Structure 1
Amino acid sequence: MGITADETVQVCPQCGSDIRGDARFTVWCAACDWNVDPQKPEAEHGLPARTRQAAAHRYGARLAADMASGGELRARRDVAAVLACVCAVLVHGLTLLVTALGIRWIISGWGGVPMAGGLLLLALAWSLRPRLGTLPQDGPVLHRADAPELFALIDDVAEAVGTRGVDTVAVDADINAGVTTYGLRRRRLLTLGLPLWEVLTPAQRIALLGHELGHFSNGDVRHGTLVASAHRSLAAWAYYLAPAHNPSPVQFFVSVVCFVPWLLVRGVMLTLDRLTLRATQRAEYLADRLAGRAASTEAAVQLMDRLLISDSAATVLRREVSRQARGSHRTQGADDRAHGLWDRLVTSMDSVPEAEYERLRRVGARRGHSVDATHPPTHLRRACLLAVESVAPTVVVGEDRTRRIGVELADARTLVARQILRDGFPG
């Protein structure tokens, strides 16, 4: 058998096996795992990160086993979730107390020194206030009238996973997707990273929508408004109270005074993190199950595999930006290059060999929770999906509907492609 241009053949220096690989990717040995993970991630520093990882390792496998054995398809409001909500209420109560104290100082000390202190407290309370979120301002934002076919698909997927659709869709340049709420009326926002959307098949796109919308139906405590805003308030407190680096004499005195309150805030952050960590991981497993319900188990597993090569997609986009910067686009109009960006990305991702997918699966199994303790490792998520009975898709998208959705996203595709080529890839 001949060797193709991208194929490389060598002997494994560890076990002596013959290795056939693709020169575009890491060359490794499937027999002994030599060079399977040449770029090991740096260990996270700091007590919160280490504590989170330890907790994730401690019960991560048990949670995966529970889900793989057919654990209930809904989030559980256990004692930890209730305590997290109580903790969040206390955090926001402190913000209200600071507000009330600031108002009292202003009223009682009008025109004097206490008034200045009251204004300072009100400014502090304003920075600690719960954020209700706003619409993104740096990319295309679609409403139902802009993309009726896309929103109809989202509604179909939402019905399949037991929730309602979204009010707005934001399109950006990230290789990611997510859901959140915004405004006083808590409208729902779906953010679609176009580089991810473009490289997925129609079935995988349904799985992606099912996973993200599943977070609305499974009651993820950590991402609820109450707890998420408490996290942000605590982060602000920690920033204000943190000891100064290379302090002046005055800063040193302030750091000494604030040291104990800073430790207390860090302790509350650790507590809230521990209380919500298990629920967050469970929510991810449940969202995966709901993705399988909407798109089929096979499509949900394929989506996870596609997410494994997000770094490769980022490399392709950075290469396109580099070519643009070097002037290699001069023989091609800027609009033509922007239109062709997605086709080149899809072609590159479709050429990723199965050996690279397998290597990344093994890397995930080795690293476990060390990269992201809030999300279960991909190999455990895949195992949970494959351990239960495979399900057929509830939502199916035909070629005509896929084409109509593509037409609705055409302007956004061009805008995001131009943004990437002009400003660089943000990932």
Structure 2
Amino acid sequence: MQRLSRSRLLALAAAGVTATGLAACGSDDDTATTGGSGAAATTAGGSSQRVAVTIGDGGCEPATASVRSGAVTFEAKNPSSSQVDEFEVLNEDGIILGEKENLAPGLSGNFSLTLQPGTYVMNCILAANGEDDPHYGKAKLTVTGGSVATPGDADDPALAKAVEQYKAYVERETAELVRGVAPFVAALKGGDLQGAKDQFGPLRMHYERIEPIAESFGDLDPQIDARVNDVADRAQWTGFHRIEQILWTKDTTKGTERYATKLQKDIGALAARVKQVEIQPAQLANGALGLLDEVANSKITGEEDRYSHTDLADFQGNLEGARKAFELLVPALKERGEGELVTTIQARFADVQEGLDAYRRKTPLGFALYDELTDADRKRFSQQIDALAEPLSLVAGKVLH
């Protein structure tokens, strides 16, 4: 987990919103209306409107915006603020439909959504503060017009099969998570320190493979996977990383018992919710890209598993989850004449995997500890991930048009 409030990409179907690739951008005749000084909205290519948002110490600028229903691309930039680093769009139920994280001063980012008529919220916040941030819920987005079709044709056999297979994959991984947490909890409660440490990384890999789904359930994800800097009140910190901190810094299982009980309960709740989730084709592509963001912004820095240094197993889990989602979309991509794009992405997945394979070890974790990575390794991995993310970011737009 990167943040307390992260993108819930796979909640979009239930909310009537689908994340789409930037290839869906619209014609120059499309316009969006924004309010507030310095606000701007422009368009480019297809039927997507653009809303430009500046994040700063005062929150979002503009404070109000209006667009027509349909495809909307949000472009967020942070000129200089160190108090705000994340832009989010939420529906009326408080579900995060899309966001851009890690917007340090001088950085910008974008994402696209298909929005139905209604009222939405735009937040520009310091992600570490989450809903406690004073800017939370300050900006208003109004979507006018009539209902629009959700991108992606559910009757497309290739896409329908991809969605069906991906949901089955997520359910299998969640079932493995449920099975694996039982002996982990038993080791914690039984005082088996080494046994608990040996199980920690391998168990988390199941969670890392399905993070886009897990993140769609906003209350469960922080309870299961928050890091200490993701929670405003440390007394409320629970989950994997709370247990990790005790195991490795105190070198004991004592004090983990109540967190173990809650972790098992939360994972059980996750498994129940996964069976009810609805998935749209675009969410496979955007979920894959989100998993690579996890690697680029968290795993590669060593801050995710900062006590155990088991980050490379998380890295592998994210990579496998991203590759699975992409591979299920390959038939649809090939039907659309995108064989060259498929070949490029597959080769770049292989490059990242080859680099990671060099750090496999015959240990319970299966990988070296993060400490073995050199600066050159981190630089190479970052470059390979960036090279993979570039063509992968095109997939959603390709399969939906």
TM-score range, shorter chain: under 0.3
Relative contact order: is structure 1 or structure 2 higher (C-alpha 8 Å, sep ≥ 6)? 1
Write 1 or 2 for the structure with the bigger share of strand.
2
Write 1 or 2 for the structure with the bigger share of helix.
1
* TM-score of the aligned structures, taking structure 2 as reference length: 0.25
